[in-house]
């Protein structure tokens, strides 16, 4: 392709500006749109139809996994590269399960991000070295995690519940009925073997799903 177009999704304008400059120093790379949350990311993708989406996981309100799912539901050929501070194996595995084409951490070298964009744009799969090590270590230490059985949607609901969201808030943000959210909540408990909500929170913290509570609670309301 003569020009590789990119959508940048991160809730920090200064961060987006820095990565825009980095990417556009590469010949043929052009950032054609930016977004700060799941809703604006979906709208920007529909409008700009970029070759690659570079998306953070820690977005206000519903996170990057849900934004990824939404974009992939609209366009099954969407090429999404997750670019995040989270190096945990569970985050990476659920991102790939939801349809991500790549997963790179913000602690990686700048060249790794640039190269990963090219790999993803060509239909390949990219992963930074630290994430690959985390996944390998997780699988060696725990051949099967309690959260492995959860779907990406269930993982996102678990993250929101563990971050203190009420069932009503989760339903509004994910455009689900209250009954559906409660059913998911019950199913999640059954799949992970949690007896109480406190047990659910403990599991979510252990998996690294919860840790930035203030950010997780920002942007509540319908997405």
Rounded to two decimals, what is the model's pTM?
0.69
Rounded Cα gap, residues 42 and 45, in angstroms: 5
Return the pLDDT at 138: 65
Q: Kindly provide the residue ranges of all beta strands, DSSP E only, lying in the chain, ordered along the sequence.
A: 4-9, 29-35, 52-55, 80-84, 102-105, 126-127
CB 55 within 8 A of CB 80: yes
Return the pLDDT at 214: 35
Closest CA to 117 of 88, 159, 67, 80: 80
CB 36 within 8 A of CB 10: yes
Exposure string of 151-169, with b = 16+ CB inside 10 Å and e = fewer, is bbbbbbbbbbbbbebebeb
Rounded Cα gap, residues 152 and 76, in angstroms: 16
Rounded Cα gap, residues 49 and 26, in angstroms: 20
Closest CA to 152 of 34, 69, 47, 85: 69
Contacts 24+ apart (CB under 8 A), 136-144: 137/89, 138/89, 138/90, 139/89
Q: Which residues of the chain have pLDDT under 70?
A: 1, 138-146, 211-223
Domains along the chain with CATH numbers: 4-141 (3.40.50.2300), 152-216 (1.10.10.10)
Phi, psi of 33 (to 5 degrees): -160, 155
Rounded Cα gap, residues 122 and 218, in angstroms: 35
Return the pLDDT at 77: 93
């Amino acid at each position: 392709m003569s020009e590789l177009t990119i959508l940048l999704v991160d809730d920090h304008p200064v961060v987006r500006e820095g990565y825009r400059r980095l990417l556009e120093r590469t010949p043929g790379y052009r950032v054609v749109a930016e977004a700060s949350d799941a809703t604006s990311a979906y709208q920007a993708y529909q409008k700009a139809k970029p070759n690659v989406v570079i998306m953070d996981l820690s977005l206000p309100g519903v996170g990057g996994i849900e934004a990824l799912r939404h974009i992939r539901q609209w366009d099954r050929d969407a090429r999404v590269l997750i670019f995040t501070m989270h190096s945990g194996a569970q985050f990476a595995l659920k991102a790939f399960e939801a349809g991500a084409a790549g997963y790179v951490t913000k602690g990686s070298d700048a060249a790794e991000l640039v190269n990963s964009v090219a790999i993803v744009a060509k239909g390949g799969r990219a992963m930074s070295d630290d994430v690959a090590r985390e996944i390998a270590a997780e699988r060696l230490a725990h051949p099967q995690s309690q959260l492995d059985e959860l779907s990406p949607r269930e993982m996102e609901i678990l993250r929101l519940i563990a971050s203190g969201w009420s069932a009503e808030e989760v339903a509004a943000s994910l455009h689900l009925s209250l009954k559906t959210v409660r059913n998911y909540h019950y199913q999640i408990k059954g799949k992970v073997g949690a007896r109480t909500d406190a047990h659910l929170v403990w599991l979510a913290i252990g998996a690294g799903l919860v840790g930035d509570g203030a950010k997780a609670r920002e942007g509540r309301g319908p997405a």
